[in-house]
Amino acid sequence: MSLRLSIDRISKSYDGNAVLDGCRFEFEAGKTYALIGSNGSGKSTFLRICALLEQPDKGAVRFFCGDAEQPHEIPLKRKITLVLPKTGVFNSSVFNNAAYGLKIRGIAGNEIKEKAARILKLVKLAGKSAQNAQTLSSGETQRLGIARAMVFEPEIIFLDEPTAFVDAESKGIIEELISKFKDRQRTVIIATHDLHQAERLDSQILSMTEGRLKLL
């Protein structure tokens, strides 16, 4: 049974300036949501809080499997992931970058090879698996970052402006990946300023204005 996410009146301020103001929403499992808003509207803060990387000042972030609320512990955190607008890579091969998270979780070697190879094929980097990741283009680097997030097969993936700094080819590949992720009944929550992209992804569109969420 897939995770669903409930946001209950979360607020967040920095140095007395309100960034989020009582945001509420129920994210259903297996759907794609696009969070639309201008720079500084609170989209990135909202995603970080939803991904349990930051605490709200008020309100609560709750995850449910069926009717059972899931505690904010390691088993839950391994089912969610956040991809930032610019991805950092290690000074190692593309394959090792894709496989790193699996290795530190103690996954068996054969399974690591199979999963890393499969995800690199999906992001169209299989032909560069032996190449040093630091020599990739910005678009290829972002695709590798998404591969590292998806290799765990998370139930919810948060994407913060994933195509903001990439070329047209990588943008198309990333949008295709998001669609495939949705087809696997995973939940996708993407922050973007591109309304046309949100429509192409057949997503439910939410606007973020002055720290408040609204379903369009």
CA distance 31 to 42: 22
* Predicted confidence band of residue 17 (pLDDT cuts 50, 70, 90): very high
Give per-residue pLDDT as tens, 141-167. 999 999 999 888 899 999 999 998 899
Please state the rounded mean pLDDT for residues 129-145. 95
Domains of the chain: total: 1
* Predicted confidence band of residue 1 (pLDDT cuts 50, 70, 90): low
Q: What is the CATH number of the domain that holds 202?
A: 3.40.50.300
* Predicted confidence band of residue 39 (pLDDT cuts 50, 70, 90): confident
Cα–Cα nearest to 80, from 189, 161, 175: 189
pTM: 0.92
Give per-residue pLDDT as tens, 74-118. 899 989 999 998 888 999 999 999 999 888 888 888 999 999 999
CA distance 187 to 5: 9
Domain span at residue 33 reads 3-215
- 33, 204 Cβ separation under 8 angstroms: yes
